[in-house]
């Protein structure tokens, strides 16, 4: 497949990845419903295998490879969750895998990837540098590249979670989706808009890493300096030769909002207090946007995606500690 995926591809993905991927719960959040005067449902991809939705796209891509390709092995670069997903899927299917990381990625994430059975290759001060090192390695060893977002199979795989949301709550009005490279938002928007054209799809970016948003404004991929953020899974560019996600997001997504570090932190604390859910910063942007009043869902049914749970212990405790007794 080297065209933008269609709804059909999302349905095919769904059948293909069953068995490697969980159907996650989509539960109401009474606290958020109350705070927004709407009805809010949380899609718990933080409970997905490997701790994030990334396993959907990775498994759809890897299961689509030919036998010869599977034999050569797969490789990827990643801020963590995609690497983990590729390592897990390759491990389950008995396919050799190498994961390239930048020096920015926390060490505990590298360890987890190794535990799934993949080899980790650390090189580069940024995601972009890690990416160049990566292409060298892929070429040298003739590995099959499994990219984190700009791939039709990956996009279709991520879209499968939106099918589940619509099955559980068919009359959703609004869906809020964290945004980085845009594989997630493109897949979700594709599925939602195809089934339910009237529903509103909103991308939520971190203020410290709004690369897709700036790229949409510029009409082409732009590069930005990386800043430290609680939403570390949202770091990274969209690729200078972006082929799919920029165009799909431009065509399918209704609105965009941006959340601050403080708002993201508030979202993480909210999930813990009200749902006993541990979520990472990237996964908290939807809650953050609603609590900050940045998306009006008064009288509406909204779905928000809690995209993952990979948060470093020390960082998570710091966040909670700053809010002890502030209720
Ligand atoms: C990768 C990731 C995102 C963003 O997905 P993109 O497809 O890059 O936009 C959001 N949340 C978590 C937890 C992620 O791992």
3-state secondary structure string across 167-225: HHCCCCCEEEEECCCCHHHHHHHHHHHHHCCCCEEEEEEECCCCHHHHHHHHCCCCCCC
Q: How many CA atoms lie within 13 A of 296 on its CB side?
A: 1
pLDDT in tens, the chain (327 residues): 889 999 999 999 999 999 999 999 999 999 999 999 999 999 999 999 999 999 999 999 999 999 999 999 999 987 689 999 999 999 999 999 999 888 877 787 788 889 998 999 888 887 678 778 888 999 999 999 999 999 999 999 999 999 999 999 999 999 999 999 999 999 999 999 999 999 999 999 999 999 999 999 999 999 998 788 999 999 888 999 999 999 999 999 999 999 999 999 999 999 999 999 999 999 999 999 999 999 999 999 999 999 999 998 999 999 999 998 777
CA of 56 to the centre of ligand 1 (A): 12
| Extended strands (E) in 86-173 | 97-101, 119-122, 144-145
What is the atom index within ligand 1 of the atom nearest the CA of 182?
9
What is the atom index within ligand 1 of the atom nearest the CA of 45?
13
Q: Which CATH class is domain 55-145?
A: alpha beta
* Residue nearest to ligand 1 atom 13, measured at CA: 308
Residue from 54, 189, 203, 288 whose mutation best tests the ligand 1 pocket (most atoms within 8 A of CB): 54
CATH topology of domain 7-52+151-321: Rossmann fold (3.40.50)
* Residue nearest to ligand 1 atom 2, measured at CA: 233
As for ligand 1, residues whose beta carbon falls within 6 Å of it are: 52, 54, 81, 149, 178-185, 233-234, 280, 282-283, 307-308
How confident is the model at residue 79, as a pLDDT? 61
CA of 273 to the centre of ligand 1 (A): 23
Strand 39-44 versus strand 26-28 pairing type = antiparallel
Residues 6+ apart with CB under 8 A from 18: none
Phi, psi of 198 (to 5 degrees): -80, -15
How confident is the model at residue 227, as a pLDDT? 86
Residues 6+ apart with CB under 8 A from 188: 158, 159, 161, 162, 175, 177, 201, 305
Buried b (16+ CB within 10 A) or exposed e, 263-290: bbbbbbbbbbebbebbbbbbbbbbbbbb
- For residue 42, the SS3 value is strand
Residue from 180, 231, 248 whose mutation best tests the ligand 1 pocket (most atoms within 8 A of CB): 180
Domain ranges of the chain: 7-52+151-321, 55-145
Cross-strand pairs, 39? 301
- For residue 228, the SS3 value is coil
CA distances from 160 to 77, 120, 148, 172, 189 (A): 23, 28, 16, 16, 11
What is the atom index within ligand 1 of the atom nearest the CA of 184?
7
Give the H or E element holding residue 306. Answer: strand 301-306
Instruction: Please indicate whether the domains covering 7-52+151-321 and 55-145 agree at the CATH topology level.
Output: yes
Pairwise CA distance, residues 77 & 282, whole Å: 18
Give the H or E element holding residue 39. Answer: strand 39-44
How confident is the model at residue 77, as a pLDDT? 83
Phi, psi of 41 (to 5 degrees): -120, 140
């Amino acid at each position: 497949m080297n065209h933008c995926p269609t709804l059909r591809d999302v349905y095919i993905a769904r059948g293909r990845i069953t068995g490697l991927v969980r159907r996650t719960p989509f539960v109401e959040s009474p606290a958020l419903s109350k705070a927004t005067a709407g009805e809010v449902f949380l899609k718990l991809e933080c409970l997905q295998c490997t701790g994030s939705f990334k396993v959907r796209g990775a498994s759809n891509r890897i299961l689509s490879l030919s036998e010869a390709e599977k034999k050569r092995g797969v490789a990827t670069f990643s801020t963590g969750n995609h690497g983990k997903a590729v390592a897990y899927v390759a491990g389950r299917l008995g396919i050799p895998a190498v994961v390239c990381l930048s020096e920015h990625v926390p060490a505990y994430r590298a360890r987890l990837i190794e535990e799934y059975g993949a080899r980790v290759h650390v090189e580069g001060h940024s995601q972009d540098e890690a990416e160049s090192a990566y292409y060298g390695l892929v070429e040298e060893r003739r590995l099959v590249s499994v990219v984190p977002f700009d791939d039709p199979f990956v996009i279709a795989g991520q879209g499968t979670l939106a099918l589940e949301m619509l099955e559980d709550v068919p009359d959703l009005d609004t869906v809020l989706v964290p945004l980085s490279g845009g594989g997630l938002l493109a897949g979700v928007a594709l599925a939602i808009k195809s089934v339910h054209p009237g529903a509103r799809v909103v991308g939520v970016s971190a203020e410290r890493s709004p690369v897709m948003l700036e790229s949409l404004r510029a009409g082409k991929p732009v590069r930005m300096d990386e800043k430290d953020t609680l939403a570390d899974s949202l770091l990274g560019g969209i690729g200078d030769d972006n082929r799919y996600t920029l165009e799909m997001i431009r065509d399918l997504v209704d609105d965009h909002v941006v959340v601050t570090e403080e708002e993201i932190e508030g979202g993480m604390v909210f999930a813990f207090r009200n749902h006993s859910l541990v979520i990472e910063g990237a996964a908290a942007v939807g809650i953050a946007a609603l609590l900050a009043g940045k998306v009006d869902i008064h009288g509406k049914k909204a779905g928000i995606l809690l995209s993952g749970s990979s948060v470093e212990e020390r960082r998570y405790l710091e966040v909670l500690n700053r809010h002890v007794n502030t209720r």
